[in-house]
Structure 1
Amino acid sequence: MKIEDFLIDENKSLLEAMSQLENAARKVLFVTKKGQFVAALTDGDVRRWILKKGSLDAKVKELANYKPKYLNESEKDKAKEYLKQNFIEGVPIVDEDHNIISIIIWNDEKVEKKNILNIPVVIMAGGLGTRLYPYTKILPKPLIPVGEIPIVEHIINRFVKNGCSEFYLILNYKKNMIKAYFNDLDKVYQLNYIDETKLLGTGGGLSLLKGKITSTFILSNCDILIDEDYQKILNFHKKQGNFITMICSMKRIRIPYGVVEISETGEIEVMKEKPEISVFVNTGMYVVDGRVVVEIQEDREMGFPDIIEKYRNQGEKIGIFPISENSWLDMGQLDELEIMRKRLEKDE
């Protein structure tokens, strides 16, 4: 990557920074003011800003670190040791005028250390997939191909790359087709089939895991892909002391109408033509305390949001881990399925 790929002006928006961080090799940007290096911005800085309910319309200068770490050109040989000592992903090398002349990024050895996420993964794969009709009249949603392989295999493969080896598929609709597909594969992971006898919803199906899971686990829908460091998500969950952490994605929505705001006297105060709003939406992936499985009522249909609301009312800490819009791929609708297919083809 070029140096320019890591640079962002302090007057750029938070949304632009999130998008650029997606492309940065190690989730760090270096902030400039009139072309000169003045600050640093990491994905952690963005996450902390969001969790403190900072405005999504903020400028980079409102959340950047204006006491950044850097090395002078004469210290370049010490860069790798400097990164290690300071637990940072990258450091700029500056000349005497404080201009960045190069950037040292931690090498791939650090990437390998991420592969320690050895916790169970539960995938809700029993739904009817009505939003993807007529595809799902023939195939169950988990087996709808995205490129060369089914969506659920993409999901499992990403977790395997992050160190997971224990998987539970909660099945119902066309379950024998799903079993037949996976039974024919040479797998490097353990795959357990959990059969629903009736539709129990995205939450109720967890009751079928009693006696199988008691510790923290990851729950995922079978139609999403999350491009994020899963170990970072788990570390965040533990550090925050969350009972449940919901992975939420930024979503920009353009309203296809002119929007009018009125004053208390009924007069037009503001007119906006097809404005765009930014919100956080539930991706359908969670980190979940094992108590949920132990305590859940059996044989009762419920959604996982119902479970979240129950524990929130009991005072348990329910948090979110924010990710950018580009980090979430959802094939729940036909138009989104085509977007996911093109994105995966490009990445591969």
Structure 2
Amino acid sequence: MKAVILAGGLGTRIAEESDYKPKPMVEVGGRPLLWHIMKSYAHHGIKEFVICLGYKGYVIKEFFFNYYRHTADLSIDLRTGAHEVLNSQSEDWKVTLIDTGADTMTGGRLKRAAPYLGSETFCLTYGDGLSDVDITAEIAFHRKHGRLATVAAVQPPGRFGVLNLASDGGVTSFEEKPSDEIGWINGGFFVVEPSAIDYVSGDEMPWEQDPLKNLARDGKLAAFTHHGFWQPCDTLRDKRHLESLWESGKAPWATWIR
């Protein structure tokens, strides 16, 4: 099975980083978000990736083109340029990098990637969110329910606490906003049948708009509820939070090192 990763957006809300690199290349623990996502899929046995490039896609191309040597011990003859790879810790992944256009929407990027996907079920996600979603269980759920697409439904953590006020102006209690008040949202980890791509009309179509709405209308969209960790990296605040989790040695999404 292949995993498609949408990695072409601008990332305007984290411009401090994305002015110089694509958002999926923002680093957590010295590694790009994209690498963390791929490690998660590889942990579930999915090691073939189709990455949809757009904004500053050359940065992602250069990262993977040089990845084998950057993770290796090398012997280099500086006079001739001859070199020998002595030892490499590179992952056993196959990565296909597709330029899907600077202004193409998410659905359009998926449609452009279709020729590289074949006729088998595939996974789909965004390049800017980390989670410990059980991808193996989601694939099994998808196959059991027989829909054209399955989305991991998540409940984002409440960002603001709640004050309970008394009539005299005092505060009777304070509590964190529970996540279940927000409801279920698109968590960005999909399992998809190739025919679902027919719901995308062209480059201008966001996957999250008419395609998902029409799949739901036609009874072709299932929801796999995920109650664990889920965190997008949209802002510097999000990045710092993910960094602190990584530095603690207890990053919830890093299932491959548990």
Q: TM-score, normalised on structure 2? A: 0.76
Q: Given the alignment of the two structures, is residue 340 of structure 1 paired with residue 203 of structure 2, yes or no?
A: no
| In structure 1, C-alpha distance between the alignment counterparts of 2:193 and 2:66, rounded to whole Å | 33
Secondary structure (helix, strand or coil) at the match of 1:211 reads helix
Unaligned runs of at least 5 residues, structure 2: 69-90, 166-171, 251-256
Corresponding residue for residue 231 of structure 2: 329
Q: Distance in 1 between matches of 2:7 and 2:157?
A: 28
Match of 2:195 among 281, 288, 291: 291
Distance in 2 (CA, whole Å) between partners of 1:161 and 1:239 is 22
Q: Distance in 2 between matches of 1:182 and 1:226?
A: 23
For 2:20 and 2:102, the matched residues in 1 are separated by 20
State the Cα deviation string for residues 298-329 of structure 1 (Å, max 9, x = none): 3333233421112222x2331211122x4213
Cα 1:316–1:189 shift into 2, 3 Å:
same
Q: How far 1:256 moved relative to its partner?
A: 5.4
Deviation per CA, 1:203-231: give whole Å up to 9, x if none. Answer: 12111123222321111111112213211
Structure 1 segment 229-308 matched on structure 2, within 5 A: 229-253=134-158, 276-277=177-178, 278=180, 279-294=183-198, 296-308=200-212
1 CA distance for matches of 2:176 and 2:33?
34
- Residue 142 of structure 1 corresponds to 24
Q: Which residue of 1 aligns with 2:219?
A: 316
Distance 2:225 2:158 in 1: 17
| C-alpha distance in structure 1 between counterparts of 2:94 and 2:37, whole Å | 14
Q: Does 1:126 align with 2:8?
A: yes
- 1:183-194 residue pairs with structure 2 within 5 A? 183-186=65-68, 187-194=91-98
Contact 1:255/1:274, CA 8 A, preserved across alignment: no
| 1:149 Cα deviation after fit | 1.0
Deviation at 1:296, TM superposition (A): 3.1
Q: Does 1:155 align with 2:155?
A: no
Match of 1:205 among 102, 105, 109: 109
Q: For residues 175 and 130 of structure 2, what CA distance do their matches in structure 1 show? A: 30
Partners of 2:189 and 2:123 lie apart in 1 by 7
Residue 80 of structure 2 corresponds to none
Q: 2:55 aligns with which of 158, 173, 188?
A: 173
What root-mean-square deviation, in Å, do the aligned CA atoms of Structure 1 and Structure 2 show? 2.4
1:199–1:301: 8 Å Cα contact kept in structure 2?
no
TM-score, normalising length from structure 1?
0.57
User: Where does structure 1 lack aligned partners over 5 or more consecutive residues?
Assistant: 1-118, 261-270
Contact (CA 8 Å) 1:215, 1:291: kept in 2 or not? no
Rounded Cα–Cα distance in structure 2 between residues aligned with 1:335 and 1:255? 14
Q: 2:124 is matched with which residue?
A: 219
What are the equivalent positions in structure 2 for 1:10-159 lying under 5 Å apart? Answer: 119-159=1-41
Corresponding residue SS for 1:210? helix
Query: Deviation at 1:164?
Result: 1.0
Residues in 2 aligned to 1:273 and 1:175: alpha-carbon distance in whole angstroms:
46
Show CA shifts across 1:261-318 (max 9, x none): xxxxxxxxxx9977734222222221112112355323333233421112222x2331
Once residues 320 and 288 of structure 1 are traced to their aligned partners in structure 2, the CA distance between those partners, rounded to angstroms, is 12
What is the rounded CA distance, in whole Å, between the counterparts of 1:306 and 1:131 in structure 2? 24
How big is the shift at 1:258? 5.6
- The C-alpha deviation readout for 1:62-100, integer Å capped at 9, x for no partner, is xxxxxxxxxxxxxxxxxxxxxxxxxxxxxxxxxxxxxxx
Judge conservation of contact 1:254–1:274 (CA < 8 Å) in 2.
no
Residue type at the aligned position of 1:336: D
Shift in Å at residue 184 of structure 1?
Answer: 0.6
Give SS of 1:133's match: helix
What is the rounded CA distance, in whole Å, between the counterparts of 2:238 and 2:14 in structure 1? 10
